[in-house]
Amino acid sequence: WKVLDTITFQVEISDSTSPHNIYINIRNSGSYAYSNLFMFVTTTFPNGKTSKDTVECILADQQHWLGSGLGDLWDHQILYRRQVRFPLLGRYAFTYEQAQRSGQKAFIEDLPGIRDVGIRIEKHN
């Protein structure tokens, strides 16, 4: 995942009263060099307003990858927001930017091993 590549997901929200959980989905290969992934997540509301968060996704502990694995691929579902009530009905955009750092480097140009990222929104039970 290159530092200049952004990924945007458009989501239509039709329920502003029920709480929802928002998950960040990540798939990495075993060759990914880090135990975490830092991302900027920008939420654009239907009225055009935005909010931006810095999110750390923990992908491994000291011994092994977390999540579920098959072969050399690992799937992670990271809880980003719990029990969110969307304030407006309509189309939201969630934009992900790679924000990984290492030592004195201001950014890491490329993150080989991050295969896919996604979003999942479900009603909270």
- Closest by CA to 86, choosing from 34, 6, 12, is 12
The domain limits of the chain are 6-123
Q: Is the pLDDT reported for residue 105 higher than 80?
A: no
Quick one: pLDDT at residue 18? 97
Give per-residue pLDDT as tens, 80-100.
Answer: 999 999 999 999 999 999 999
The owner of tokens 């924000």 is 99
The owner of tokens 């329920």 is 15
User: What CA–CA distance (Å, rounded) separates 86 from 125?
Assistant: 16
CATH number of 6-123: 2.60.120
- Closest by CA to 20, choosing from 70, 74, 85, 88, is 85
Give per-residue pLDDT as tens, 23-66.
Answer: 999 999 999 999 999 999 999 999 999 999 999 999 999 989 99
Q: Is the pLDDT reported for residue 112 higher than 80?
A: yes
- Closest by CA to 28, choosing from 80, 64, 4, 81, is 64
Q: Is the pLDDT reported for residue 113 higher than 90?
A: yes
Quick one: pLDDT at residue 107? 78
**What does pTM read for this prediction?**
0.91
Angle CA 36–106–109, to nearest 5: 70
